[in-house]
Structure 1
Amino acid sequence: MFKRLFIAVVFLSLAAVFAFQLIFIVPEQPQIITQTGSSITQNVRCMEFNQPKTLDEDGELNILVWNIYKQNRDDWRSALDTFSANKQLLLLQEASLTDTFKDWLVDGHWVSNQVTAFKALGSGAGVISIAKQEPILACAYTSKEPWLRLPKSALYSKYQLSNGETLAVVNIHAINFTVGTDEYTSQISAMERVLNEHKGPILFAGDFNSWSEERVTAMKKALLKADLQEVKFAQDNRTQFITGLPLDHVFYRGLTLKNAKAPQSDASDHNPLLVSFTLND
């Protein structure tokens, strides 16, 4: 009896591992994919661009921050059309680089940089930063979930601004399933240390999975080291965990906040964040 039970457990375990490897492909190193029109380029870790142009428009910078739930809802495309209107920068999490999504990027004349945290059934998934202009630099970072072993991703980018400054941007999807905050803090602190080398304005935004008071404290403690302040939303419908804590945040430095709202949407399991800034003289 015990022998049969042991064999059954081993068989199920091997089947689970095989199924995981069949569905998910995890790169050995963080990879970044850039799409400009129909042209797609892939590299390991970082990509530099030769002809970056000004990101803002007449000193204004309008951004969308949104966990798009791998485009699993039927109305994701129409919602993304609406939320991306008049935006110069889109910071999306849980984006799946399907053929339909690639077509959306081409139709909108966007330039995108995505971290391929893993591939699921052939499509890369991870954070993606999308703009009308190429960045100066884009670098991929990944951190594995301690339990699921699938990576969460972050993307560090630098963009040229019309006032002569360089904007550093971190788009993050933070580690979720942990006991304690060690891995969570490590992921955020790694990005904070990269930002400490930057002297100009900063945006740090995304899905922080900040579902506990301990995580909120760890998040804010790390980001205070980079002298960042948090955006306050006048219309705040940010998605909350059962603890009542919002999961998505925008932090900034060296910019003037103009307005911020988080409208409701059924096109994802997260509501979008719409934030506008003006550049400092």
Structure 2
Amino acid sequence: MKKAILLSIPLAIAVTAVIGYQTVFTLPDSAQVTSLSDGKAQLSLQCYRKESVNAIDDNGRLNLLVWNIYKQNRAQWQAQLSDLASDKQLVLLQEASMTEELKLWIAEQGWFGSQVDAFKAFETTAGVLNLSHDSPTKACAYTELEPWLRLPKSALYALYPLSNSSNLAVVNIHAVNFTYGTQEYQRQLDTLVDELLEHQGPIIVAGDFNSWSEERLSVMKQALKKVGVTEVHYQPDHRTQFITGLPLDHVFYRGLVLETAEAPESDASDHNPLLVRFRLENKDI
């Protein structure tokens, strides 16, 4: 009798864990993107498209904020996000949790949002989020399942028109993290690189790459080498590092002129933000 009771304990724990997981997390059947404008959300399938969109840059300037916002878990997130985003034309967030507070902030600031619905936690979607002053002409969602946690990491491929008549391709990525090897990491990057190889104009690839090992850094750089991008370097460089001393967040670019880049310290997330200023090639300012 005691043996039967002891044997039933692990089963009960496993069943409880599964029920708890299913109660907290909901996964979509496929990658999908939600567009947010004027406080309203529009759900697409994998891709969203729109014609007649204004240029994303400001007279040839393109100021960028990249930040893993840690699901807005710290009290200072809204004030610091407002300050950091105030002069930006493009904001790329990772670990954005689409709470009512974030929806209200997006509407009040007049942003257009494109979010990948990677999963829902207590009915609140989470995933990478692009913010711009007008819609992209195209935004496509991609997810890769974490093999251990069984939760998807997300990426967004988006196209934005520029005032010099070219189109900017932007990849916002939150890379898979908890893996034994680099197979899933490689697959996630290769899928996005395949999209970028079809694009002839300027490119930005940015986000939280979870590049905490030399193996991951090598996979990341070899994959992105195929599209001819250059990595941004920062002054000062306070990018969040893993215990290995390797930074987790990166920005790569092609077909733009880099002016300044910095990674200041912040107490509003477990990652520090990246602030990068570009200008368009062949564009007098």
TM-score, structure 2 normalization: 0.98
Task: Tell me the CA shift for residue 51 of structure 1.
Answer: 2.5
Q: Does 1:278 align with 2:279?
A: yes
> In the alignment, residue 240 of structure 1 is paired with which amino acid?
Q
The aligned runs of 1:95-110 (5 Å cut-off) are 95-110=96-111
Secondary structure of 1:209 counterpart: coil
Aligned to 1:54: 55
The aligned runs of 1:140-219 (5 Å cut-off) are 140-219=141-220
Distance in 2 separating the partners of 1:50 and 1:2: 67
Aligned to 2:80: 79
Q: Does 1:6 align with 2:7?
A: yes
Distance in 1 separating the partners of 2:99 and 2:274: 23
Which runs of 5 or more structure 1 residues have no equivalent in the other structure? none
Distance in 2 separating the partners of 1:94 and 1:251: 20
8 Å CA contact retained: 1:209, 1:247:
yes
Secondary structure of 1:154 counterpart: strand
Aligned to 2:134: 133
Secondary structure of 1:236 counterpart: coil
The aligned runs of 1:217-236 (5 Å cut-off) are 217-236=218-237
Aligned to 1:41: 42
Secondary structure of 2:136 counterpart: coil
Q: Does 1:24 align with 2:25?
A: yes
Task: Tell me the CA shift for residue 8 of structure 1.
Answer: 1.1
Task: Tell me the CA shift for residue 118 of structure 1.
Answer: 0.2
Count of paired positions: 281
How large is the Cα RMSD of the aligned pairs? 0.7
> In the alignment, residue 222 of structure 2 is paired with which amino acid?
K
8 Å CA contact retained: 1:51, 1:134:
no
Secondary structure of 2:44 counterpart: strand
Task: Tell me the CA shift for residue 128 of structure 1.
Answer: 0.3
> In the alignment, residue 163 of structure 1 is paired with which amino acid?
N
Distance in 2 separating the partners of 1:50 and 1:228: 27
Task: Tell me the CA shift for residue 50 of structure 1.
Answer: 2.4
Distance in 2 separating the partners of 1:214 and 1:40: 39
Distance in 2 separating the partners of 1:39 and 1:266: 30
Any idea what the Cα deviations from partners look like across 1:44-99, whole Å, max 9, x if unmatched?
Answer: 10010122111000101000000000000000000001110110000000000000
Secondary structure of 2:143 counterpart: strand
8 Å CA contact retained: 1:127, 1:171:
yes
Any idea what the Cα deviations from partners look like across 1:99-153, whole Å, max 9, x if unmatched?
Answer: 0000000000000000000000111000000001110000000000011110000
Distance in 1 separating the partners of 2:48 and 2:183: 29
* Aligned-residue identity in percent: 51
Distance in 2 separating the partners of 1:251 and 1:6: 53
Aligned to 2:113: 112
8 Å CA contact retained: 1:30, 1:140:
yes
